[in-house]
Amino acid sequence: MHQSNYGREGFSHITVAGALAHGMKEVEVWLQTFGPGKKTPIHRHSCEEVFVVLKGKGTLLLGSSSFKHPGQPQEIPVFQNSTFTIPVNDPHQVWNSDEHEDLQVLVIISRPPIKIFIYDDWSMPHTAAKLKFPYYWDEDCLSAPKDEL
């Protein structure tokens, strides 16, 4: 399986079962590792998402989809062997808020490949969030030559 940091220092992503890489149609599974202090972008998506924390601990920052912009996020501690789910369309950010240990998570999404809308900050209106599609790890597969003749 292909592992890369996709240009993000202190980050690692592997698609362990994916739509483009393995023909999944309904679910996709990733293994991601965040070094101390590392974060995902603030983002939202209209699919379901489940995180299972395999190692380390961190913080889930969770905004709201009910107002014009995400607003001040809730800070939810996450830790080894915990599971958390992201409400559909809620802006969120996963942050390894620990200073020493890596945070390793299995991520499960529905409706792959993922369509991610990225926010510059928590006060950006939902309508201004920018679609990044295909997402970085899906670009590899889309640009690869097809198997079929």
Closest approach, Cβ 54 to its own copies, in A, equals 8
Give whichever of 77 and 87 is closer to its own copies, judged by the CB atom.
Answer: 87
Output the known binding site for Zn(2+): 43, 45, 49, 92
Spatial separation of the C-alpha atoms in residues 51 and 100, rounded to whole Å: 21
Which residues have a Cβ under 8 Å from the Cβ of 37 and sit 6 or more positions away? 10, 96, 97, 99
The answer to whether residue 116 forms part of the interface with its own copies (CB under 8 A) is: no
Q: Map residue 143 onto helix, strand or coil.
A: helix
Give whichever of 16 and 128 is closer to its own copies, judged by the CB atom.
Answer: 16
Q: Map residue 106 onto helix, strand or coil.
A: strand
Contacts to its own copies by CB under 8 A: 16-17, 22, 24-27, 29, 47-48, 50, 52, 54, 83, 85, 106, 108-111
